[in-house]
Amino acid sequence: MGMKASNKIATFFKYFVLILVGVIMIYPLLWMISATFKDNSEIFAGISLWIKKPTLDGYRNALNNFGGSINILQAMLNTYSYVIPKVICTVVSACIAAYGFGRFDFPGRKLLFNIMLATLFLPQVVLNVPQYLLYNKFGWVDSPFYLAIWVHCAFATETYFVYQLVQFMRNVPRDLDEAAAIDGCSSFQTLYKVIVPMLGPALVSCALFQFMWSCNDFMGPLLYVSTPGKYPMSLFVKLSMDGDTGFAWNKILALSLISILPQLIVFFCAQDQFVEGISAGAVKG
Amino acid sequence: MSKAISRRNFLMATGAVGAAGLLAACGSKPAASSTASSAASQAPAASADESLALSDGPVNLSISWWGGDSRHAAYQSALEAFQAEHSNITVEPTFAAWSGWEEKMAAAFIAGNAQDVCQVNWNWLYNYSADGSKFVDLNTTSKFIDLTQWDSAAMDACYVANSQQCVPVSMTGRIFYWNMTTFNKAGITEVPKSLDDLMAAGKAFQEKLGDDYYPMHLGAYDRMILMVFYLESKYGKDWADPVTSTLNYTEEEIAEGLAFIKSLVDNHVMMNLKTYYSANSDTATHQSNEWITGKIAGIFEWDSAASKYSSALDDSNKDGFTVGEEIKFGDNNGGFSKVSMGLAITKTCKNVAEAATLINFLLNEEKGASIMGSECGIPASKAGLKFAQDAGAVKSLVAEANAKVMAFTTNKLDPLFENNDLKASGTGIYQEVFDNIDYGDQTPEEAVETLLDGMESVGYTIG
């Protein structure tokens, strides 16, 4: 057997394994799409993609507007009306906080950094009630601008991102800061003229993570939004899920499918930067 | 034995410390539910508050409920009808599905910004208002709500801390449902009416249809309810005191109940949990292939679950879905009925008279009740039920099941029975007990201790 033939066989097997794993990974998503056209008994009968009795009820019911108070389009608009400020606040505040911890030596820096890291280990569940009481005092519960959901992000409360950016900043040589200082940059100018451009991929990954988490967040909106007209997508999808009397899964799946489309588009647009961002922070400890 | 008691005491102590810590953290008064002295006989019911009156000016009310699509629609059109009748009142609704709803409402009750009228789960009265601090005593609103439309037993269940904290919207209980298509295949034409019928069905299924056909499947929580049903049927006393949650059964009696469940498994009446998990993991019964295709031919479920189970069946089995008969395992009628949900007025409500008028409209008046139909279960209000039936807004399967449950069950439920640490699927004590038995890790006698330890740790008093 010649070299060429064995190469071909090797390539064949590589592709075979890759395609096989790829199909296994994407299968649930394909199944979800096919299940939006099935009825309940067919959905639970098996995992085949084949649709025996196709129905469009799922999509028809997805347009239900709950007595005119909320529809799918409004719910999507509502979602992005707090997700976008949340993402911007998170990125800006996390970047500034990371700059402080990464580049300045001030008294108590280590202690403060440790305290901040400790908050990373606080589960959201224990914060729910105290936070709710606090925001209730502020009058932010059911605020038309979703204040309780996003304002806290302006204060670098998303520790995970601060930590990620501090690690990433270590890879940016201090020489650049010094060069900037010699050229007459103030601390803030150094940050946004020198460091932020270098941090690009890391900031994109922060923004993407926060975007996905915020779109998927259910408990936050459930606690702080009470007016049906202001419900975001995560609440809207679940409105019909009454475990007691049962519900049509095709509607839920159709809604879920529609609601993840914008997320998929955003992800694909930022994919290259995103993957770079994740791996870049990991190389140097 | 001494070891067992010390372990239980330890659990009780840690439970008490934990509970005290929680209460302190929330800044509310410590009010253990078991001490809520709510026996209806202790104090005379509060009389109507004559100072309550409807206002002529514009009034804003808010209401909250959980449910699915059809319930959201029913409430909303009922609210529209209400506002058409009372043009000065505007009602703002808040609604979602059940999951997460209790957390939302708990936070709102603590913060004092819950809606004026709330659809409440029965155990919330004990969990959040055991001292009567959250909900208005509806006896004071009798000018606006016709309280005579409910059975006194149903009303008493909502009487906590000397206060009528809610009115029951509907009552529910467990009953058997059978897939008669499969039963017919096994040569059985009538629904099982006795324990002997059940055992005979197990045998017939195994012999005629094969090892993978079962007359019934029950999950762990269902088994617990059936076990209590059996014991109550046999001994004629409530599982635990409905106010103080003091257990009324001895270890020997409970061991007998657990052995009864095991005998159903051993005689092929019920599927072994191990077998069920290996095919379905923790998927609910109505979503399992065995139920859809008729290999599991029976369940013991809430009356309100009828449509969920019947609509899940495939076409060849759909017509066989039948509401069964309650089974008498001893000299008494077993089983309990419970308030499945109620409507309450929060103490932060500023327009109690209007809120009470709204509740009366939804539950007792023709316009409201005929729209609400059986969307929140079969109406517990007598007038409401009549109007809903006249309007043809009652699901017949559920109505049939509910009527059978209500006619049969006499026992009362205690507020801790449905505690999440006990009933949670996957992690609850009930699950642990029945898993241990089915996996052969514990005999029924040994499992009693696991059960009692768990019950004691959530606050049961065990004699």
pLDDT in tens, A164-219: 999 988 888 888 888 999 999 999 999 988 899 888 888 998 999 999 999 999 99
For position B426, what pLDDT does the model report? 81
Shared domain check, B447 and B389: no
- Closest CB from B95, B111, B287 relative to A132: B111
Cβ distance A133 to B111 less than 8 Å, yes or no, reads yes
Shared domain check, B296 and B197: yes
Q: How confident is the model at residue B26 (pLDDT cuts 50, 70, 90)?
A: very low
For position B44, what pLDDT does the model report? 59
Q: How confident is the model at residue B33 (pLDDT cuts 50, 70, 90)?
A: very low
- Closest CB from A44, A218, A228 relative to B287: A44
* Inter-chain contacts counted by CB atoms under 8 A, chains A and B: 114
Shared domain check, B426 and B397: no
How many angstroms away from the CA of A221 is the closest CA of chain B? 10
pTM exceeding 0.80: yes
In this predicted structure, the answer to whether residue B18 has a pLDDT above a threshold of 50 is no
How far is residue A27 from each of residues A17, A32, A47, measured CA to CA in Å? 15, 8, 10
Shared domain check, B69 and B99: yes
> What CATH number corresponds to the domain at position B301?
3.40.190.10
For position B419, what pLDDT does the model report? 87
Rounded mean pLDDT, B75-82? 95
3-state SS of B273-302 is: HHHHHHHHCCCCHHHCHHHHCCCECEEEEE
Query: Does residue B426 or residue B104 have the better pLDDT?
Result: B104
Cβ distance A235 to B103 less than 8 Å, yes or no, reads no
Cβ distance B314 to A45 less than 8 Å, yes or no, reads yes
Shared domain check, B395 and B257: no
The separation between the first and the last C-alpha atoms of chain B, rounded to the nearest angstrom, is 14
Query: Does residue A210 or residue B284 have the better pLDDT?
Result: A210
Q: Please list every residue in chain B whose beta carbon sits closer than 8 Å to the beta carbon of residue A61.
A: 69
A119 lies within 8 A of chain B by CB: no
In a domain, B463, yes or no: no
Rounded mean pLDDT, B86-113? 93
Q: How far apart are CA B185 and CA B180, in angstroms?
A: 8
Q: What is the mean pLDDT of chain B?
A: 88
In a domain, B17, yes or no: no
Query: Does residue B77 or residue B26 have the better pLDDT?
Result: B77
In a domain, B11, yes or no: no
Query: Could you tell me which residues are beta bridge partners of residue B379?
Result: B170
Shared domain check, B185 and B149: no
Shared domain check, B299 and B185: yes
In single-letter form, the type of residue at position A162 comes to V
Q: How many domains does chain B have?
A: 2
Q: Please list every residue in chain B whose beta carbon sits closer than 8 Å to the beta carbon of residue A64.
A: 69
Shared domain check, B347 and B326: no
pLDDT digits 0-9 by tens, A14-42: 999 999 999 999 999 999 999 999 988 78
In this predicted structure, the answer to whether residue B354 has a pLDDT above a threshold of 90 is yes
Cβ distance A136 to B77 less than 8 Å, yes or no, reads no
Q: Which helix (H) or strand (E) holds B174?
A: strand B167-179
Cβ distance A222 to B313 less than 8 Å, yes or no, reads no
- Closest CB from A40, A235, A247 relative to B96: A235
Angle between helices A72-103 and A109-119 (to 10 degrees): 150
For position B140, what pLDDT does the model report? 94
In a domain, B425, yes or no: yes
For position A280, what pLDDT does the model report? 57
Query: Could you tell me which residues are beta bridge partners of residue B412?
Result: none
Cβ distance B76 to A66 less than 8 Å, yes or no, reads yes
Rounded mean pLDDT, B431-440? 94
Per-residue pLDDT of chain A (285 residues; tens, 9 = 90+): 567 888 899 999 999 999 999 999 999 999 999 999 998 878 887 788 889 889 999 999 888 888 788 999 999 999 999 999 999 999 999 999 999 999 998 999 999 999 999 998 888 888 889 999 999 999 999 999 999 999 999 999 989 999 999 998 888 888 888 899 999 999 999 998 889 988 888 899 899 999 999 999 999 999 999 999 999 999 999 988 887 777 888 999 999 999 988 888 888 888 777 776 666 554 444
Shared domain check, B302 and B399: no
For position B28, what pLDDT does the model report? 39
Evaluate the CA torsion angle A18, A20, A23, A28 in order and state its sign: negative
Shared domain check, B152 and B103: yes
This model of the complex carries an ipTM of: 0.86
pLDDT digits 0-9 by tens, B239-250: 999 888 999 999
Q: Please list every residue in chain A whose beta carbon sits closer than 8 Å to the beta carbon of residue B95.
A: 228, 239
Structural domain including B98 reads 55-165+339-403
Shared domain check, B135 and B179: no
Cβ distance A247 to B73 less than 8 Å, yes or no, reads no
Residue B137: strand, helix, or coil = coil
Domain borders along chain A are 3-61, 66-283
| Per CATH, domain A66-283 is 1.10.3720.10 | yes
Shared domain check, B374 and B328: no
Rounded mean pLDDT, B382-389? 94
Q: Please list every residue in chain B whose beta carbon sits closer than 8 Å to the beta carbon of residue A48.
A: none
In a domain, B238, yes or no: yes
